[in-house]
Amino acid sequence: MHPYLLSLHVTAMALVIGALFLQSLVVVMALRLKNPQHAEGVRIIQRRVHLFIYYPILAVALLSGLWLALESGAFAEGRWLHWKLVLVLLLIGLGMFTGHHLRTGRVVKPLAMVVHIVIFVLSLCIVYLATVKPF
């Protein structure tokens, strides 16, 4: 296993999770703005973060993770990687769901508040599976 590639993957995943947290926090903040011009400015920033930070760093995280898994033979080792990939797909789906709501402008406040918790729980489980490899 290449330590540089592993470092790249871990850093990229931290940035992906951070970008998702940032998006959900900004969504909640934008819902509280009274001035429509301020709200529009926040929406522009949200879209740019999603398009120019989240998606590129997600591609880096996925490619480096796939490379690490293929190189180390992790697919044959155990089921932990399969479960981790399921959770990663859920996290990606959450990011796409958030991106869709940002593009359409239909953001629901209770849903935006729950996103924080879901991101945290999924991230916690992904890190647990990657470090402990329980099965």
pLDDT band at 9 (very low <50, low <70, confident <90, very high): very high
d(CA 94, CA 128): 19
Q: Is 107 helix (H, G, I), strand (E, B) or coil?
A: coil
In this predicted model, what pLDDT tens digit does every residue of 34-84 receive, in sequence order?
A: 888 887 888 788 888 888 988 999 999 999 999 998 888 877 777 888 899
Return the structure tokens found at 48. 């740019």
Q: Are 5 and 61 in contact (CB under 8 A)?
A: no
% of the chain at pLDDT higher than 90: 34
pTM: 0.83
In this predicted model, what pLDDT tens digit does every residue of 123-133 receive, in sequence order?
A: 999 999 988 98
